[in-house]
Amino acid sequence: MDQRQDLPTVLRRFGREECSQEPLYIALCDAFADDERALALLAEAPPEQRKANLLLAALHERVLAGAAPELAAYYPSVAGERAPDAGLSAALQACLAREWPALVQHLRHGATQTNEVGRCTAIWPALGEAARATGARHLALLDLGCSAGLNLGVDRYRLRYRTDDGAWHERGGAAVPIESRWLGAAPLPAPADWRLTLRHGLDPAPVDVTDPARLRWLQACLWPHDARRRERLARAAAQLQELPVALTQADDCIAAIEPWLKSLPAGVQPVLLTSWVLYYLSGADLDRLRATVDRLALSHGLAWICGDLPALSAPRSPRPPEPVLPAGEAASSLTLWTLRHAQAGQVVERSLAWSHPHGRWLHWL
């Protein structure tokens, strides 16, 4: 993606493989790929952020801000009902010409901070597995790349799993319902015999959800048609203000893990969480993160829950068989959840589950 000539291919592939249920984004990715101005805009992003979803989020933010009236008719997130048609390309070009400075700012300095709380359907049972594997009952959770820190409220959400027989099973708190299909024959997560004692987030640019512009950016990172995710984000953002959560800005989040760990009180189990963060790291930073986690696992008992593309979350482990997906679900961006921790003087890793990248379904292994 560092090469300009690769960008059209990247954009078209993203639209075809990652946005199969979002007709507007399929059409926009094709329009971007054929538009020299759009390609120049994407090239403004740093190489590690030169991704189609950042360009789509930047454009969506302008629509949500009311600054792109010619595009608003196409966006369900602002009550638009117009299907992608021949007028979309001209509307895009008009928006790019007028909003270029704001869009460049997003591409140069922004990041796709989706902070998808739907992933809590996987994070919840993964925390239970970390507690079981370490024998701990009091967990201190560090969300690296936390964005607004919404996933730190995992135990406060009402998680609703629908099994293959059509029955619903609920876990967790009473607020912000999050629904997921529970695939396969593995038993559902047992009621928690552990608790989150401390909640901390690290991010190069943590999001203050009380700031309307920053909250709008989180909303812009969602797909325009998905009203359920928008409502869930708004409710989770409101609940976050009632939680004892500490968010820290860190230019080097990896280096900040050890100071956090050493600041913890005795008797708590440190758990690092990364959910779709490794995808945005350079190869050198990936190696440094893995080396840091392994060292701290052996010296301080750190456990690591990771959800990402399988080549990133478990690069050295055998890939478990993929699940049979529900009708209508695409196999793109399958997320593999892993747990890595110290055991008998060695660092061990195992795969826990497959999930939809936004938590719509979960297949526990």
| Structure confidence by residue, pLDDT tens digits, 40-97 | 999 999 987 888 999 999 999 999 999 999 999 999 999 999 999 999 999 999 999 9
* CA-based end-to-end distance of the chain: 34
Give tens-digit pLDDT for 153-188. Answer: 999 899 999 998 889 998 866 678 899 999 999 999
Report in angstroms the alpha-carbon separations of 260 from 48, 139, 144. Answer: 26, 14, 11
Q: Residue 160 pairs with which residues in a beta bridge?
A: 170, 179
pTM for this predicted structure = 0.84
Rounded CA gap, 207 and 346, in Å? Answer: 37
Of the chain, the percentage scoring pLDDT greater than 70 comes to 97
Nearest alpha carbon to residue 107 among 156, 165, 159, 59: 59
Please report how many Cα atoms fall inside a 13 Å half-sphere around the Cα of residue 132, on the Cβ side: 12
Q: Which two three-digit tokens encode residue 348? A: 């061990």
Give tens-digit pLDDT for 271-320. Answer: 999 999 998 899 999 999 999 999 999 999 999 999 999 999 999 889 99
Instruction: Report angle CA 17, 10, 274 to the nearest 5 degrees.
Output: 70
AA letter at 364: W
Cα 248 from chain centre: 18
Give tens-digit pLDDT for 204-228. Answer: 989 898 999 999 999 999 999 988 8
> For position 15, what pLDDT does the model report?
92
Q: Which two three-digit tokens encode residue 187? A: 């038993």
Instruction: Report angle CA 314, 317, 321 to the nearest 5 degrees.
Output: 90
Contact 121, 59 (CB under 8 A): no
